[in-house]
């Protein structure tokens, strides 16, 4: 029996996130700097003569056709005329509705993992249209590291890697659905007040001098609305009390990211957050080289960005 192949699907955070307004197609125009981090799901794939089967473990998640991994597999089969099947096992560690891009990462890595499994001669550029159809954040996970994104998030421009950071990701019991977060933000949205801050972050990343004071997230304006948001705000305060030098919302929430001076401090901070009743993980940011080495070990150079 062919042993399963293991692939890691890493989470992301937003070092800067500005929402410019609603577009004609119903999506929101954004400007953001994305960064992969070490918290990850894992996908194991095995060949099958026909059919697709997905099993899930870890954090609760749907395992049917609505799962983005299944959607990615169906799209890839259709695009390439694949009759072969696959057995996929998803171990979920990235919390849902937390702004960490776990589902998007699962979808992107599913495209890459199944390309490998089915011996498809695909490069990143040819996978991008499929990734865009799956979701706004999915294209980013075909690159990893640090990147600037525009449009609804699908226009991705890799940047030099931001300096390594020791972080704690903390999330409350209740998530924040992306649609609801945007609805709350729409009520406050007038003009883009912080668009220039994205330019500042990009410039600092390029110069390898990223200052924590430059980090921002427009969704922090709505963290006082509703029960999930209130719990997220408590996570922010708890991170600062646990020793974080900066606390930043992850995507549209409800998770928060605390930046710590070193590894020991971040591990102690994660323990403090767990004692306070939050889900928490101490980890680091991942540069592009580490992202690809740890996500897709064994891939040929033709699939590297």
If one counts the domains in the chain, the total is 2
Would the pLDDT of 175 be above 90?
no
Residue 207, SS3?
Answer: coil
Q: Is residue 194 flagged as an active site residue?
A: no
In a domain, 302, yes or no: no
In a domain, 292, yes or no: no
Domain boundary among 104, 135, 160: 160
Give the confidence band of 179 by pLDDT, cuts at 50, 70, 90.
low
CATH at residue 188: 3.30.70.890
Would the pLDDT of 305 be above 60?
no
Q: State the pLDDT at residue 93.
A: 97
In a domain, 241, yes or no: yes
Q: State the pLDDT at residue 183.
A: 66
Domain boundary among 160, 187, 202: 160
Tell me, yes or no, whether 212 and 276 share the same domain. yes
Closest CA to 283 of 169, 171, 172, 170: 169
In a domain, 74, yes or no: yes
User: Residues 34-51: pLDDT tens digits?
Assistant: 999 999 999 999 999 889
In a domain, 217, yes or no: yes
In a domain, 304, yes or no: no
Angle at 225 between CA 219 and CA 226, to 5 degrees: 125
pTM as predicted: 0.91
Q: State the pLDDT at residue 253.
A: 77
User: Residues 75-97: pLDDT tens digits?
Assistant: 999 999 999 999 999 999 999 98
Tell me, yes or no, whether 181 and 153 share the same domain. no
Q: State the pLDDT at residue 283.
A: 98
| Of the listed ranges 22-26, 69-73, 143-147, 241-245, the one predicted with least confidence | 22-26
For residues 147-163, give the mean pLDDT. Answer: 95
Angle at 118 between CA 43 and CA 44, to 5 degrees: 15
Domain boundary among 133, 160, 187: 160
In a domain, 297, yes or no: no
For residues 187-208, give the mean pLDDT. Answer: 75
**Dihedrals φ, ψ of 94, to 5°?**
-85, 120
Would the pLDDT of 12 be above 60?
yes
How far apart CA 66 and CA 24 sit, in angstroms, is 26
Would the pLDDT of 182 be above 80?
no
Tell me, yes or no, whether 83 and 127 share the same domain. yes
Query: What is the residue range of 206's domain?
Result: 166-284
Q: What is the full DSSP assignment across 54-117?
A: EEEEES----STTSHHHHHHHHHHHHHT---EEEEEEEE-SPTTSSS-HHHHHHHHHHHHHHHH
Give the confidence band of 191 by pLDDT, cuts at 50, 70, 90.
low
Q: State the pLDDT at residue 181.
A: 62
For residues 244-263, give the mean pLDDT. Answer: 93
Give the confidence band of 277 by pLDDT, cuts at 50, 70, 90.
very high
How far apart CA 94 and CA 276 sit, in angstroms, is 19
Tell me, yes or no, whether 105 and 247 share the same domain. no
Tell me, yes or no, whether 116 and 139 share the same domain. yes
Q: Is residue 137 flagged as an active site residue?
A: yes
In a domain, 303, yes or no: no
Question: What secondary structure letter does DSSP report for 243?
Answer: T
Structure tokens at 132: 């865009």
Structure tokens at 215: 């980090």
Tell me, yes or no, whether 66 and 151 share the same domain. yes
| Of the listed ranges 182-186, 205-209, 299-303, the one predicted with least confidence | 299-303
CATH at residue 140: 3.30.230.10
How far apart CA 305 and CA 295 sit, in angstroms, is 13
Tell me, yes or no, whether 37 and 137 share the same domain. yes
Tell me, yes or no, whether 25 and 120 share the same domain. yes
Q: Are 253 and 176 in contact (CB under 8 A)?
A: yes
Tell me, yes or no, whether 144 and 41 share the same domain. yes
**Dihedrals φ, ψ of 221, to 5°?**
-65, -20
Give the confidence band of 298 by pLDDT, cuts at 50, 70, 90.
very low
Tell me, yes or no, whether 209 and 250 share the same domain. yes
> Out of 12, 41, 92, 161, which one is annotated catalytic?
12
Tell me, yes or no, whether 19 and 149 share the same domain. yes
> Out of 41, 92, 106, 137, which one is annotated catalytic?
137
Would the pLDDT of 272 be above 80?
yes
Tell me, yes or no, whether 16 and 50 share the same domain. yes
């Amino acid at each position: 029996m062919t042993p399963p192949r293991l692939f890691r699907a890493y989470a992301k955070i937003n070092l800067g996130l500005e929402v410019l307004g609603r577009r004609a197609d119903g999506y929101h125009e954004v400007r953001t700097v994305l960064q992969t981090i070490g918290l990850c799901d894992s996908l194991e794939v095995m060949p099958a003569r026909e059919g697709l089967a997905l099993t899930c473990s870890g954090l609760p998640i749907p395992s049917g056709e609505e799962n983005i991994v299944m959607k990615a597999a169906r799209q890839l089969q259709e695009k390439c005329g694949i009759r072969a099947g696959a057995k996929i096992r998803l171990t979920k560690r990235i919390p849902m509705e937390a702004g960490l891009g776990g589902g998007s990462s699962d979808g992107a890595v599913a495209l890459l993992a199944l390309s490998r499994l089915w011996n498809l001669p695909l490069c990143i550029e040819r996978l991008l249209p499929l990734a865009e159809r799956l979701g706004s954040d999915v294209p980013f996970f075909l690159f990893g590291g640090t990147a600037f994104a525009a449009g609804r998030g699908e226009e991705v421009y890799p940047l030099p890697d931001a300096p390594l950071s020791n972080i704690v990701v903390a999330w409350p019991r209740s998530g924040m659905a992306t649609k609801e977060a945007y609805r709350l933000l729409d009520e406050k949205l007038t003009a883009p007040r912080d668009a220039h801050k994205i330019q500042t972050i990009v410039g600092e990343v390029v110069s390898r001098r990223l200052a924590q004071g430059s980090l921002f997230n427009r969704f922090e304006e709505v963290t006082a609305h509703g029960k999930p948001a209130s719990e997220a705000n408590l996570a922010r305060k708890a991170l600062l009390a646990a020793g974080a030098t900066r606390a930043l919302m992850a995507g549209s929430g409800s998770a928060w990211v605390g930046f710590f001076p070193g590894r020991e401090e971040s591990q102690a901070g994660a323990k403090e957050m767990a004692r306070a009743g939050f889900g928490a993980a101490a980890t680091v940011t991942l540069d592009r080289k580490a992202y690809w080495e740890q996500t897709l070990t064994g891939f040929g150079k033709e699939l590297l960005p």
